[in-house]
Amino acid sequence: MTGDSLRLDEIDRQIVAMLAKDGRASFATVGQRVGLSAPAVKRRVDRLRATGVIKGFVAVVDPAAAGWGTEAFVELFCEGRTAATEIFAGLRRHPEVAAAYTITGDANALIHLRTRDIEHLEETLERLRREPNIVQTKTAIVLSSLGRIPG
């Protein structure tokens, strides 16, 4: 069963929302909020993980505090009919790539970069342009973040 075919009840939705906000919340804490025992929450979380609703738990890092204060979104233009798997394989070699997406429109992909500074951004763009199928990039540098939209 996958997340698409799993029916979530209201308690499952509350558990998912709580863990999305704080992945380190204990089963006891979550249970107090949703009216279940810690073992019952654990069973539900195990089921949500097994069915793919919850894919994992991550540490949310403040990029600026970690020294990666410059962000940019880059459209990638590739030659011919470059497959998404080929684009992804090339991007995995660049630790500055925070996220990558295939998109509609003229570009083949959109990537989110995080770098130390403008010099590091320029060096990263030069490296990306040396990837075999990338023929052009179009970059928008982030001036400030408006914040994440909940949901």
pTM surpassing 0.85? Answer: no
Interacting residues of 26 by C-beta distance below 8 A, sequence separation 6+: 38
Residue 64 has what pLDDT?
Answer: 83
Q: Is the pLDDT of residue 37 over 60?
A: yes
Where do the domains of the chain lie, and which CATH numbers do they carry?
1-59 (1.10.10.10), 70-141 (3.30.70.920)
- Look at residue 63 in the predicted model and tell me its pLDDT: 85
Residue 59: left (phi > 0), alpha (psi -120 to 50), or beta?
beta
